[in-house]
């Protein structure tokens, strides 16, 4: 894969971008970058405005900004699908929204403020309960694996 990425240099009008890509690949920074983005996503969800994503591991002083409002606009279509799915699950269970006591939220993305706001609009009488947002899914998988 690295060789193929190196051959792409002629496709870049700004070769600095290609150099950054190669730095990420050669230094195996993919997981670190994903962690920085995930952290920024969670931070931006809990506050108004924007947060910085630290990318200095690629290049000194390199960073990006994640704006909470832009993230909400970007996620709007996906959140509609999730809310539609939740409504469909409730319908198939033979229930009405008013019958629900709570939604139990687990997993990092359920901490996103736009996600929680979408659920609150769709199910205004239903309480949102946050579980272990970082370890809940892994704990559930471990529990299921132990039972298998």
One domain, residues 143 and 76: yes
pTM over 0.75: no
One domain, residues 93 and 125: yes
How does residue 31 score in pLDDT terms, banded at 50, 70 and 90?
A: very high
One domain, residues 63 and 77: no
One domain, residues 16 and 45: yes
Give me Rg for the CA atoms of the chain.
Answer: 20
Q: What is the DSSP letter of 109?
A: G
Residue where a domain terminates, one of 31, 51, 69: 69
Give the pLDDT of residue 39: 83
The domain of 113 spans 70-147
Residue where a domain terminates, one of 69, 93, 126: 69
Exposed (0-12), middle (13-18) or buried (19+): which is 16, by Cβ within 10 Å? exposed
One domain, residues 42 and 19: yes
Q: How many CB atoms lie within 10 A of CB 20?
A: 16
Q: Which residues contact 21 (CB under 8 A, 6 or more apart)?
A: 5, 8
Give the pLDDT of residue 134: 67
Q: Which residues contact 18 (CB under 8 A, 6 or more apart)?
A: 8, 9, 12
Share of the chain above pLDDT 70, in %: 94
One domain, residues 143 and 77: yes
Q: Is the pLDDT of residue 11 over 80?
A: yes
What is the SS3 assignment for 105? strand
One domain, residues 76 and 132: yes
Q: What are the structure tokens assigned to 70, written together?
A: 């832009």
One domain, residues 82 and 143: yes
Per residue in 83-129, pLDDT tens? 999 999 999 999 999 999 999 988 767 878 888 999 999 999 999 99
Kindly give the pairing relationship between strand 63-67 and strand 127-130: unpaired
Kindly give the pairing relationship between strand 127-130 and strand 102-105: parallel
100 and 126 Cβ atoms separated by less than 8 Å: yes
Give the pLDDT of residue 62: 93
Question: ∠ CA(27), CA(107), CA(88), 5° rounding?
Answer: 130
One domain, residues 97 and 135: yes
Number of structural domains in the chain: 2
Give the pLDDT of residue 131: 81
Give the pLDDT of residue 47: 66
Residue where a domain terminates, one of 28, 48, 69: 69
Give the pLDDT of residue 32: 92
One domain, residues 23 and 90: no
Chain mean pLDDT for the chain = 87
């Amino acid at each position: 894969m690295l060789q193929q990425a190196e051959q792409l240099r002629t496709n870049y009008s700004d070769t600095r971008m290609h150099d950054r890509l190669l730095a990420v690949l050669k230094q195996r920074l993919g997981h670190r970058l994903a962690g920085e983005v995930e952290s920024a996503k969670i931070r931006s969800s809990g506050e108004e405005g924007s947060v910085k994503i630290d990318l200095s591991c690629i290049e000194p002083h390199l960073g990006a900004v994640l704006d909470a409002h832009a993230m909400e606009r970007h996620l709007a279509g996906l959140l509609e699908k999730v809310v539609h799915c939740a409504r469909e699950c409730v319908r198939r269970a033979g229930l009405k929204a008013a019958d629900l006591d709570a939604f139990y939220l687990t997993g990092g993305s359920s901490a996103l403020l736009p996600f929680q706001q979408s659920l609150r609009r769709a199910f205004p009488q239903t309480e949102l309960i946050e579980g272990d947002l970082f370890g809940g899914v892994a704990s559930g998988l471990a529990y299921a694996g132990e039972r298998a």
